[in-house]
Chains A and B, each alone.
Chain A
């Protein structure tokens, strides 16, 4: 069946460094991908999304890269700040199917002072 997984459950980075969070997916029909940030005790918050007709999209301090060949998605956070400490989820769906968004299990990002 379909699955969305993350390579590492935890990631620690020094404040000011860049962070890279990875995500693998298995459904070759997936064509819409989203990254969410979830702080402790809060609901997931949208960060950035990308459709399969693109391989890179940039936001404020964040970049999402999509490699459809190897079914891999990454979220890059530039100049990581303490406020970036959270769990990050990737999610995917195939827009042509009735299946709703499928979420990965998340990566805990910890920013060290």
Chain B
């Protein structure tokens, strides 16, 4: 049972480039989330999804887009990467809105 899997684990982009981070969960969870984690700060919610075909904005959504075409996958896109988006990105899922989140192992993204 893999839980929550994120790909890639590391990525370096140049300013203005685009990329997509993939998150997959095999627990049949309805809820999925994308967080970013910066040094000395807690996790900040970018976007989340309450079910297949749905997305919603979190605390820091600007510069990111997401899609949830399949229940098990949640994609995070950066259309035009900026140095301020250098961070560690974590995907998470939960069975319901009020239950604990399960996290992936993270993606280290550097934007030069």
> Are B41 and A105 closer than 8 Å at their CB atoms?
yes
Interface segment among B11-19, B42-50, B67-75, B76-84: the answer is B42-50
Residue in A45, A100, A104 whose CB lies within 8 Å of B103: A45
In the assembled complex, how far is the CB of residue A29 from the closest CB belonging to chain B, in whole angstroms?
14
- A34, B43: Cβ atoms closer than 8 Å: no
User: Bound state CA distance, A9 and B101, in angstroms?
Assistant: 23
The answer to whether B106 touches A100 (Cβ under 8 A) is: no
B74 to chain A, nearest CB (A): 14
Cβ A43 vs Cβ B103 within 8 A:
yes
Is A25's beta carbon under 8 Å from chain B?
no
Number of A-B contacts (CB under 8 A): 49
Give the shortest distance, in Å, between B31 (CB) and chain A (any CB). Answer: 9
Residue from B35, B42, B48, B92 having most chain A Cβ neighbours under 10 A: B42
* Chain A 24-49 interface 0/1 with B at a Cβ cutoff of 8 Å (1 = within): 00000000101010000111111001
With A44-B43, A105-B42, A106-B42 as known contacts, state yes or no: A49 contacts B100, CB within 8 Å: yes
Nearest residue in A to B58 (C-beta to C-beta)? A100
- Asked whether A4 is an interface residue with its Cβ less than 8 Å from the other chain, the reply is yes
Distance of A101 Cα from B103 Cα, bound (Å):
13
Q: Counting CB contacts under 8 A, is A55 at the interface?
A: no
Which A-B residue pairs are the 7 nearest by beta carbons? A43-B103, A103-B42, A103-B43, A105-B42, A95-B98, A44-B103, A43-B105
22 contacts between A and B (CB under 8 A): A32-B98, A36-B103, A43-B90, A43-B92, A43-B104, A46-B100, A49-B100, A89-B42, A89-B43, A91-B42, A91-B43, A95-B97, A95-B98, A100-B33, A101-B45, A103-B35, A103-B43, A103-B44, A104-B42, A105-B40, A105-B41, A106-B42
